[in-house]
Structures are given as structure tokens and as C-alpha cells.
């Protein structure tokens, strides 16, 4: 028989379930609708950033003389409604004003920190700067408790007068992953993208994102989406204009080869500074295409067409507890749901891998980049309160067997502690370390293997070990 069953009647899985079609990635089958808001001026308006219910952006200082207003940017804001539409007038953010360039910025709601690009120059040199138009580098300022009476600021520890550090992007989920643009020596082009990870309150040494992301040209204006996808602007060969917008998915600890957005958003001019709200429904970007001024900020409505999926269901558990045998179901899916139906009687003790769960060598602390995947398991447990889960951690074969068993147990428990910290009951998830006892390839003791093969064994899995029918 053919039945249509509401999606709430089923337990939903995360993307790694093998029985489902692969989850649609962020920018696949996406339609971008663009318009130019009225807050733009006949000067240059660039670098939008979402700060609560406000849109921050940088703009030429209109109030300055004609000689000076082509020199510096100031930071402005305008209020937005829940759909991203502008609902008020632009105003200067006085608390961020300096005599020099201000912006771009990014805001982390998790830590209430604002990251601001500044001109790296002392106030005593302003007259020399104005007269001689010397080149000065950029630096990052970090403002804690932004917008509150106890706000304080400090400068990023890796600022250097020998090169620029600017265009900050912070992952919203935890605020401990910072990506920025810099022309420091040792890169691949004029400006490259770098990542710094904060651990125990300290920012780590910046690491170049490598030749897959960076090119011999310029990579600038990064933005990190809620799912970890990186968006940035690049002048690399093969684009449509000067700067084009690209996106790169994060997988297995690295960013994949960037994809050009194409003509859906890019033009024959410069297109850059793309930002997006947390639910990926709308965003803003900058462009110097023909508009109101030399640069304008554009609003983007992000449409993802609904998709139908049909799966053969052998056993399903609707709310009334009766099993529907040999039924075909039809489910209307949108981006807020997953492509997979958990078939309750069939998933007990079936193992499912969690991707992108990483640890430093011989350590068990959860790294910020692992939180994205763990948050998916948190969501699964929050949405399905009847399931009990074991989270298993595995090592590769290198090292002492007993040590690997202890290490894997500590890593598994660290991940479980993170999940419990998000409100999941401790009785519903347990940690189990398997060490090197369940290798998934030939890389046992004494067998020479590549690092990539060893990495396959250093994995984190979960399995549903119990279901309590509390419907």
C-alpha cells in the first residue's frame, strides 16, 4: 500500500547513515535571489557582518572632506527583521570609531566577542599618513563583552607590523576557530587564508589553509557557515571577474577544493564579503558591479527547492505503536530535515561513523572543529528521547596496545562529556574505548601503511544500544 506518514512519526538520522541518500550539501540545488538595499550610498559600502539583529558594514566616511573621504572606512549599522530585511536607517557605530580604517568585522554570539580589522598605525603618525599616503598594514582587535558596560579589548597575539592580518571570520558554534587573510611571508599568493584555533583561552599559531584553498593570487574576506563550510573571495584564474566568491566544504580535517558560485552571484566585477544567517536562509555580500556607488552591499535570499524522497519501509514505528509492514512511504523533505528515516527494529547495535572528529596526537581534548559533527549527534538525541547510544572511539595500530585502549576510552569519554554538557542525560550515552582492536583495514602492527590509511582507523562511531518506547 501507499501511505504518506508525517516525518515526526520517525526517528531521524544524521548524514552518515548508509541506508539513505547522501544529505544535500549546503549550496547544491540552491537558488540565489539578489537585490540592492536602499541604505547604500554613492560612495563605497562593503563588508557586511551580522551582529545580533543588526547588519554592520564598512563605508567611506561621508562627513570628511573630499580630499580625505576616499581614504578611510568607518563602521555603520542598520537594524534587520527576522527575514534579514533592513528596517531602519544606517548609523555610525561610534564605539568602534578610530581616525583610520575600521572594518571588516565579525561577531561571535557564543562568546559575545567582536573581531575588528584595524589599521596598524599609532595616532601620533596620522598627519604623516594623510600627507604622504604611506602604506600601513592591518591588525586584528578582539573586543570582549561587546556592547556591554564591561567591554574590554585586546589585540590578536600574532599581529605583526611586517604584514597585514585582517578580514576575520569566526565559526559561530564555539568561537574558537578563527580564519583570516594575511600577506605574511611563506604563503602561496599575495594574500592567503590562515586558521588559528583557540585552546584553553589561547590562540594557536596560525596555519596556512594550504594550496587547495589558497592560490598564487589573492584569497580574502572569509566567512565560516554554521556547518563549517568556508566562503571566501579569490582573484584566482578561471573566475568570472576580478574577485569571485567561492565555497569549500570541510571534510576529514581539511577544506576541499573550492567551488566557484558561478553566475548565480558572481559578475564580471569584484564580488566578495559573503555572510549568511545561521539557518542559511538569507545573507549579504559586496560587489562593485554597476549599482548605487563604487561598491554596494547586496541582499541575497537563499532558496532551496523542496525535495521528495521515497524509501521502501520494512518496519516503522508510528505514534500508535503499530508496525506498518511492507509499506511505501512518501516524505516531503526540506533543509530543516534529514534525508534518512531510522527504521527502528533494524538499527539496534548498527554502527554509524561520525566524520571529522579529531584529536591532537596522544591527547583526548575535543577540538573546536569536531564540535560541528558532535552537535549533530546532540540534535539526534534531543529529537529522539527514546534512544540510548554508545559512543565508541578507535585508534590506529601504532603505539602500545594497552596505551591505545586507555587513550581511546579517554577520547570517547571526552566526546560524551561534551554531549552531556549540551543537556543530554548522562544515562542515555556511554563511552567505550576499543583501542586498536577493531581495525577496518590491513594496517595492523608491523604492516607499513600510509598516514591516510592509519587515519581511517582513528575514528569515532556510535550505535543505538537501546530504545525505550515512551511515545
- CATH fold for the domain made of 2-23+307-467: 60s Ribosomal Protein L30; Chain: A; (3.30.1330)
pLDDT beyond 90 at 222: yes
Arithmetic mean of pLDDT over the chain = 80
pLDDT tens, position by position, 22-81: 345 778 767 888 998 889 998 899 999 999 999 999 998 654 444 444 468 999 999 999
pLDDT at 366: 76
pLDDT at 123: 52
pLDDT tens, position by position, 376-386: 889 888 888 88
pLDDT at 193: 97
Residues of the chain with pLDDT > 70: what percent? 77
pLDDT at 251: 79
Look at 414 and 313; give whichever has higher pLDDT.
Answer: 414
- Encode 24-92 in three state secondary structure: CCCCCCCEEEEECCCCCCCCEEEEEEEECCEEEEEEECCCCCCCCCCCCEEEEEEEECCCCCECCCCEE
Most confident of 1-5, 6-10, 117-121, 281-285: 281-285
Helix, strand, coil share of the chain (percent; to 5): 15, 35, 50
CA distance 446 to 441: 13
pLDDT at 31: 81
Give the residue from 286, 290, 261 showing the smallest Cα distance to 104.
Answer: 286
Helix (H, G, I), strand (E, B) or coil at 228: coil
Q: What residues contact residue 87 under an 8 Å CB cut-off, 6+ apart?
A: 79, 80, 81
Mean pLDDT of 333-358: 56
CA distance 223 to 145: 21
Predicted TM-score (pTM) of this structure: 0.67
Candidates 3.40.50.300, 2.120.10.30, 3.20.20.70, 3.20.10.10; CATH matching 31-303:
2.120.10.30
CA distance 181 to 191: 6
What cell does 420 get?
552531556
What cell does 22 get?
547522501
CA distance 222 to 244: 12
So where are the chain's domains?
2-23+307-467, 31-303
pLDDT at 383: 83
Instruction: Measure the CA angle with vertex 414, ends 408 and 418; round to 5°.
Output: 150
CA of 59: how far to CAs of 34, 92, 193, 376, in Å? 20, 9, 24, 38
Q: Which of 166-175, 199-208, 415-424 has the lowest mean pLDDT?
A: 166-175
pLDDT tens, position by position, 244-257: 999 999 877 788 99
Q: Which residues sit opposite 144 in a β-bridge?
A: 152
pLDDT tens, position by position, 295-330: 999 999 988 765 444 344 434 444 344 444 444 444
Q: Which residues sit opposite 34 in a β-bridge?
A: 300
CA distance 425 to 423: 6
Q: Which residues sit opposite 227 in a β-bridge?
A: none
pLDDT tens, position by position, 229-244: 999 999 999 999 899 9
CB atoms within 10 A of CB 357: 24
Mean pLDDT of 133-156: 89
* Alpha-carbon dihedral angle through residues 406, 407, 408, 409, given to the nearest 10 degrees: 50
What cell does 82 get?
527576522
Instruction: Measure the CA angle with vertex 225, ends 201 and 304; round to 5°.
Output: 160
pLDDT beyond 80 at 127: no
Q: Which of 265-274, 299-308, 347-356, 426-435 has the lowest mean pLDDT?
A: 347-356
* Residue that has been written with the C-alpha cell 583557540 in this structure: 198
CB atoms within 10 A of CB 392: 23
CA distance 226 to 351: 26
Q: What residues contact residue 458 under an 8 Å CB cut-off, 6+ apart?
A: 359, 394, 395, 396
| Radius of gyration of the CA atoms of the chain, in A | 25
Amino acid at each position: 500500500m501507499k501511505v504518506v506518514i508525517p516525518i515526526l512519526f520517525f526517528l531521524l538520522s544524521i548524514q552518515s547513515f548508509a541506508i539513505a541518500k547522501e544529505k544535500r550539501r549546503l549550496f547544491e540545488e540552491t537558488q540565489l535571489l539578489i537585490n540592492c538595499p536602499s541604505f547604500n550610498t554613492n560612495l563605497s559600502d562593503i563588508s557586511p557582518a551580522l551582529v545580533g539583529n543588526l547588519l554592520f558594514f564598512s563605508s567611506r566616511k561621508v562627513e570628511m572632506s573630499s580630499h580625505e573621504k576616499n581614504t578611510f572606512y568607518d563602521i555603520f549599522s542598520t537594524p534587520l527583521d527576522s527575514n534579514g530585511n533592513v528596517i531602519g536607517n544606517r548609523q555610525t557605530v561610534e564605539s568602534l570609531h578610530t581616525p583610520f580604517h575600521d572594518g571588516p568585522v565579525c561577531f561571535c554570539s557564543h562568546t559575545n566577542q567582536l573581531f575588528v580589522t584595524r589599521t596598524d598605525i599609532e595616532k601620533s603618525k596620522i598627519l604623516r599618513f594623510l600627507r604622504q599616503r604611506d602604506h600601513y598594514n592591518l591588525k586584528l582587535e578582539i573586543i570582549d563583552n561587546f556592547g556591554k558596560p564591561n567591554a574590554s579589548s585586546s589585540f590578536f597575539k600574532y599581529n605583526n607590523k611586517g604584514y597585514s592580518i585582517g578580514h576575520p571570520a569566526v565559526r559561530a558554534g564555539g568561537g574558537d576557530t578563527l580564519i583570516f587573510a594575511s600577506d605574511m611571508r611563506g604563503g602561496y599568493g599575495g594574500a592567503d587564508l590562515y586558521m588559528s584555533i583557540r585552546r584553553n583561552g589561547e590562540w594557536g599559531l596560525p596555519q596556512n589553509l594550504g594550496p587547495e584553498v589558497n592560490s598564487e593570487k589573492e584569497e580574502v574576506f572569509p566567512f565560516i557557515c554554521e556547518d563549517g563550510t568556508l566562503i571566501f573571495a579569490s582573484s584566482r584564474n578561471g573566475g568570472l571577474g576580478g574577485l569571485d566568491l567561492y565555497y569549500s566544504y570541510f571534510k576529514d580535517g581539511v577544506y576541499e577544493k573550492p567551488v566557484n558560485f558561478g553566475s548565480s552571484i558572481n559578475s564580471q566585477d569584484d564580488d566578495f564579503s559573503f555572510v549568511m544567517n545561521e539557518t542559511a536562509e538569507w545573507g549579504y555580500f559586496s560587489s562593485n558591479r554597476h549599482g548605487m556607488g563604487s561598491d554596494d552591499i547586496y541582499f541575497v535570499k537563499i532558496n532551496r527547492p523542496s525535495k521528495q524522497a521515497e524509501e521502501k519501509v520494512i518496519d516503522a514505528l508510528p505514534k500508535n505503536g503499530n508496525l506498518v509492514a511492507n509499506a511505501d512511504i512518501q516524505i516531503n523533505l526540506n533543509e530543516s530535515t534529514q534525508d534518512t528515516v531510522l527504521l527502528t527494529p533494524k538499527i539496534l547495535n548498527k554502527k554509524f561513523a561520525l566524520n571529522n572528529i579529531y584529536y591532537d596526537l596522544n591527547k583526548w581534548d575535543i577540538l573546536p572543529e569536531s564540535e560541528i559533527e558532535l552537535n549533530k549527534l546532540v540534535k539526534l538525541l534531543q529529537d529522539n528521547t527514546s534512544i540510548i547510544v554508545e559512543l565508541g572511539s578507535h585508534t590506529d595500530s601504532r603505539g602500545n596496545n594497552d596505551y591505545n585502549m586507555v587513550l581511546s576510552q579517554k577520547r570517547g569519554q571526552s566526546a560524551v562529556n561534551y554531549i552531556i554538557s549540551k543537556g543530554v542525560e548522562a544515562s542515555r550515552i556511554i563511552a567505550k574505548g576499543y583501542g586498536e582492536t577493531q581495525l577496518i583495514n590491513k594496517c595492523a602492527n608491523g604492516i607499513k601503511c600510509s598516514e591516510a590509511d592509519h587515519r581511517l582507523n582513528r575514528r569515532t562511531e556510535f550505535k543505538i544500544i537501546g530504545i525505550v518506547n515512551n511515545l
